[in-house]
Amino acid sequence: MLKSKTWRLAAILMLISDWSQCIKSEESTVDPPENIGIDDPGHLGPLYIHWTAPASLTNLTACSMRYHLEYFNTYQSRWTVIRTVRTWYRAQFDLEKEVRVRISTLLKGACTNGTELKSPFTEMVLPPNNTVGSRVQGFGCVFYQKEFMECTWETGLEEPTQSQHSLYFWHQEMEKAEECPQYIHSNGVRTGCKFTEESLPEFSDFNICINSSSPKVVLRSAFFSLQIQNYVKPAAIETVHLEASPDRRLQVQWDLPNERIPRHCLEYEVEAREEGVGGQQLLQRNITNEMTLTSLSMDGAQRKCFRVRSRMHHYCADRGFWSDWSRWSCHSDTESDVVVGCAVVIGIIISMLILSLFGWALWRKWKAREGEMMPFGPLHKLMECSKGLSARSHFIKTRDNQ
Query: Per-residue pLDDT for the chain (402 aa), expressed as one digit of tens each?
Result: 434 444 454 444 444 444 444 444 444 479 999 999 999 999 999 999 999 999 988 888 888 999 999 999 999 999 999 999 999 999 999 999 999 999 999 999 888 888 899 999 999 999 987 766 778 899 999 999 999 999 999 988 877 777 889 999 999 999 999 999 999 998 888 999 999 887 789 999 999 999 988 777 778 889 999 999 999 999 999 899 998 887 778 889 999 888 889 999 999 999 988 876 666 677 788 899 998 888 666 555 678 889 999 999 999 999 999 999 999 998 886 544 444 455 556 778 887 888 888 777 777 776 777 655 544 444 444 445 455 545 545 544 445 454
Bridge partners (DSSP) listed for residue 242: 252
* Those residues with Cβ within 8 angstroms of residue 275's Cβ, 6 or more apart along the chain or in another chain: 281, 301, 302, 303, 304, 305, 330
Residue 374 DSSP code: G
The answer to whether the beta carbons of residues 306 and 271 sit under 8 Å apart is yes
Helices (H), 126-246: none
CA distance 386 to 365: 31
- What is the predicted pLDDT for the residue at 372? 55
- On whether the 34-126 domain is CATH 3.20.20.70, my answer is no
* Those residues with Cβ within 8 angstroms of residue 317's Cβ, 6 or more apart along the chain or in another chain: 229, 230, 232, 265
The answer to whether the beta carbons of residues 193 and 182 sit under 8 Å apart is yes
CA distances from 42 to 47, 177, 215, 284, 373 (A): 9, 7, 25, 51, 106
Bridge partners (DSSP) listed for residue 75: none
Element (H, E) at 178: strand 178-179
The answer to whether the beta carbons of residues 268 and 288 sit under 8 Å apart is yes
Would you tell me how many other CB atoms lie within 10 Å of the CB of residue 38?
A: 17
- What is the predicted pLDDT for the residue at 13? 43
Element (H, E) at 239: strand 239-244
Nearest to 46 by CA among 180, 141, 171, 229: 171
- What is the predicted pLDDT for the residue at 345? 64
Tally of CA atoms within 13 A in the half-sphere of 245 that contains its CB:
9
Would you tell me how many other CB atoms lie within 10 Å of the CB of residue 33?
A: 22
- What is the predicted pLDDT for the residue at 197? 81
User: Residue 266: is it exposed, middle or buried by C-beta count within 10 angstroms (0-12/13-18/19+)?
Assistant: buried
pLDDT tens, position by position, 155-210: 888 777 778 899 999 999 999 999 999 999 988 889 999 998 877 899 999 999 99
64-103 b/e (C-beta count within 10 Å ≥ 16 → b):
ebbbbbbbbebeeeeeeeeeeeeeebebbbebbbebbbbb
CATH number of 240-335: 2.60.40.10
Q: What's domain 137-233's superfamily in CATH?
A: Immunoglobulins (2.60.40.10)
Task: Say whether 219 sits in a helix, a strand or coil.
Answer: strand
3-state secondary structure 245-300: CCCCEEEEEEECCCCCCCHHHEEEEEEEEEEECCEEEEEEEEEECCCEEEEEECCC
The answer to whether the beta carbons of residues 96 and 223 sit under 8 Å apart is yes
Q: What angle do CA 287, 291, 292 make, to 5 degrees?
A: 85
| 240-335 shares the fold of 137-233 | yes
CA distance 292 to 236: 16
- What is the predicted pLDDT for the residue at 300? 59
How many residues make up the chain in this entry? 402
Domain boundaries, the chain: 34-126, 137-233, 240-335
Nearest to 291 by CA among 316, 272, 312, 309: 309
3-state secondary structure 1-31: CHHHHHHHHHHHHHHHHHHHHHHHHHHHCCC
Nearest to 40 by CA among 166, 171, 129: 129
